[in-house]
Amino acid sequence: MTQLLITHKNYVNTVFFKKIYLLPKWLFELLSWGKSFKNNPIIGSYLLNRCGLHIARIVLAHGLFRFRLLLLSPLVPAEDRRQFIKYGFILKQNFLPEAEFEELARELQNFKGEIRETVEGTTLTERAFMTADVRAEVPAMQALVARPELDRLMRYCSSKNRPPLFYVENLCNQANVTPRADPQRDMHADTFHPCVKGWLYLDDVDDGNGPFVYAPGSHRLSWRRLKWEYSQSLEACKRGTDRQPGRYWDGSFRVAGDELAKMGFEPKKFKVPRNTLVVANVYGFHRRGEAMTKSQRMTVWMQARDNPFNPLFTFWPQATAGLFESVWSRVLTRLDSPRIASGEQRKFYGCFTRNS
């Protein structure tokens, strides 16, 4: 009995000191981009969210986002600003001159380098992280990154005056013979705050290879959206079987079709020709559309995510982008081993899978 009491006391002391040790990390996540209701007990506190913690973070992040957009408005034409603020996305067909686009498509379709491959449902997702060193070997890609129109657009839409991280992404549809659940096929918001992703399509996009689906206007805060966010935050705080099936605790909330309609949003399929650029605020509801045939879809994929509670933006865009790229390269390398060991990811040096 005495030994059992000692063991229990040691366990309690261990848990207590672990919480003290992790408290600075939890507080940093609370005041930055942290979104996990499971891994952070402050963000995942039922009592705090009952009092409106999640809603307060959303409202503050969106207010600061709009403030930074206002300050950065000289970067882009008024029409682009209106479309982005009203609909949550910007779409530009024939983005590159034809000769430049054909050269870019040729170089990337024949690219050979380090590729990370993951399985998502019936889709194999192949991505190459295009760092400055990699781009130096792909002249057309480097020219795209340096293109002023794209640079200014992404710096504005991110609201942080920072160029994004660049990847080449190749989706191989209906390539996995042992499909898993695909979270990308569910309508969702990436996180609680505005952030952007961009795609320059190197292939024509239709129902055959799975178009991007977005609900225009769903990036804006409305009373219905905030009520939905509030209910989702309370559900995400629950543990195990107490949480409704299919509800995510990671802060990337999924939305059902009837819920989307109740909030007044209607999804739109982006069936677009190659050489189309789409930049979207992925706080808005979106998903990867179903692919009806065995096919590929290749894009230059861009992502910009930063601390949403920083009211300012960088005054040194290129230097800041280089720093983020360097840090993210190290993070990806650190994550490789456990992901490969779990079977979640495969990494290889080679070419993208393309139709012959």
Q: What is the pLDDT of residues 181-194, one digit of tens each?
A: 777 889 999 999 99
Question: Which pLDDT value is given to residue 304?
Answer: 92
Question: Which pLDDT value is given to residue 354?
Answer: 84
Alpha-carbon distance of 286 to 254, in angstroms, equals 10
Question: Which pLDDT value is given to residue 183?
Answer: 78
Question: Which pLDDT value is given to residue 185?
Answer: 87
> Could you write out the DSSP letters of every residue in 164-184?
-EEEEEEEEET--SS----GG
Alpha-carbon distance of 114 to 241, in angstroms, equals 40
Q: Angle at Cα 21 formed by Cα 17 and Cα 27, nearest 5°?
A: 130
Q: Could you name the CATH architecture of 37-351? A: Sandwich (2.60)
Does the pTM exceed 0.85? yes
Task: Provide long-range contacts, Cβ within 8 A and 24+ apart, for 329-338.
Answer: 329/129, 329/131, 332/116, 332/129, 336/116
221: its two tokens: 């805060």
Question: Which pLDDT value is given to residue 177?
Answer: 62
Question: Which pLDDT value is given to residue 12?
Answer: 43
> Could you write out the DSSP letters of every residue in 248-277?
-SSS--B--HHHHHHTT---EEE---SS-E
Q: pLDDT, tens digit, for every residue of 142-196?
A: 999 999 999 999 999 999 999 999 999 999 988 766 666 777 889 999 999 999 9
103: its two tokens: 């050269």
Question: Which pLDDT value is given to residue 2?
Answer: 57
Alpha-carbon distance of 320 to 148, in angstroms, equals 17
> Which residues in the chain land under pLDDT 50?
4-5, 8-13, 15-16, 356
Question: Which pLDDT value is given to residue 216?
Answer: 97
Domain boundaries, the chain: 1-30, 37-351
